[in-house]
Amino acid sequence: MIRVQNIQKAFGGTKVLKGVSFEVEPGTIYGLIGKNGAGKTTLMKIMTQLLPADGGSVEYTDVAEGSVGYLPDLPGFYEYLTTDEYLDFLLQDKNPIRRNKLLETVSLKPNLRIKTMSRGMRQRLGIAAVLVSDPKILLLDEPTSALDPAGRAEVRTILQNLKKEGRTIILSTHILADMDSICDKAGFLHGGVIVREVDLKESRKTASGMILQFEQEPDLKLLSQYIKPIYKIDPFTIKVLIDEQNRIESQQQILKGLSLLEQPVVSIRSTCPSLDEVFAEVCV
């Protein structure tokens, strides 16, 4: 279990973190979401003791000391080494079997010069490097940023496999689609605090929105008088969010709006809210 309590940090006169608190269950993936400059990297550095906090505490329970691995957003590598030489260096030349297993875990070949590797491959090598000491907790700062879709998919698969091995992962990224698909829980860091936490595991189970497809382009102005908030997917399709606290009333309100609109609906289906929508609501 990771317990972050009231972490504060200021640079000069600017308070970047004003009391960040959250908890992460063991064996889960927690996503930290926030705009650029929200303090995600600062928080990660504090959690790995690379940066001292002005106040607050980070508590790792049931985890041996040194069992936290941190991968920065732009890890620096010794470019002239090959993948196996780099891992051998980190392993102090002691365990070639483990080196091969690590390369296998991140699907990288040995004898590959780092200088010639793509960004996605470097990111995977970074993950292998963090795994050298076999940490139970991984803090990954933007592991999928600047990667192409194939590279992102590879990293996502690796992270899901690591979760299956029982590791706890905290990752930050602004590519919310990645969070949506692999995180169990996501925290929105805004204004120096976690403004909202979304339990993605739960919300995947319960539908919290509706996708409505019309025969003709609907009058959104008129519709928004009855239904809020509305997200336009394409000219004929919209998405509306349902207030989970007042689910029945919320659904009735949508139906009432549709009947008043007098525009034929082709289909109605349930969906859960995407992180993009929550991000737009709480961070923008």
Partner 1 sequence: MNQNLLCCMKKDARECLRCGRLALFLCLMAGIGLMIMGFTFVFSDIPEQLWAQLPGFNIENLEELVSELYPKMLRENIGIYSYYVGVFFSLIVIIVIHGILPREEEGGKWILPLQQGYDVRELILSKILVYGGFAGCSVFAGYLLYFILAGSFMERNMVFGHALANGLVHGWNMFVIVAYTLLLSELMPNPVISAVSMIATIMLMPDIATYFDFGKYLPTYPLTFVYDSRDDLGSLPMPMILNVMVLALLWIILSEREEKRLRAIAASGSEE
| Distances in whole angstroms, Cα of residue 13 to Cα of each of 2, 35, 121 | 29, 20, 39
The reply on whether position 81 binds partner 1 by CB under 8 A is yes
The reply on whether position 246 binds partner 1 by CB under 8 A is no
Interface region with partner 1, contact rule CB under 8 A, candidates 80-88, 116-124, 192-200, 238-246:
80-88
CB of 257 to partner 1, least distance (A): 51
The reply on whether position 69 binds partner 1 by CB under 8 A is yes
| Structural tokens at position 162 | 């690591």
CB of 90 to partner 1, least distance (A): 5
CB of 72 to partner 1, least distance (A): 6
The reply on whether position 11 binds partner 1 by CB under 8 A is no
Q: What is residue 232's three-state secondary structure?
A: strand
Angle 194-136-139 from CA coordinates, rounded to 5°: 40
The reply on whether position 153 binds partner 1 by CB under 8 A is no
Q: What's the one-letter identity of residue 70?
A: Y
Q: What's the one-letter identity of residue 179?
A: M
**Residue with smaller CB distance to partner 1, 132 or 207:** 132
β-sheet with 68-71: strand ranges across: 68-71, 137-141, 168-172, 29-33, 185-190, 193-199
Binding-site ranges for partner 1 (CB under 8 A): 49-53, 56-58, 69-72, 74-78, 80-81, 85, 88-94, 126, 129-130, 132-133
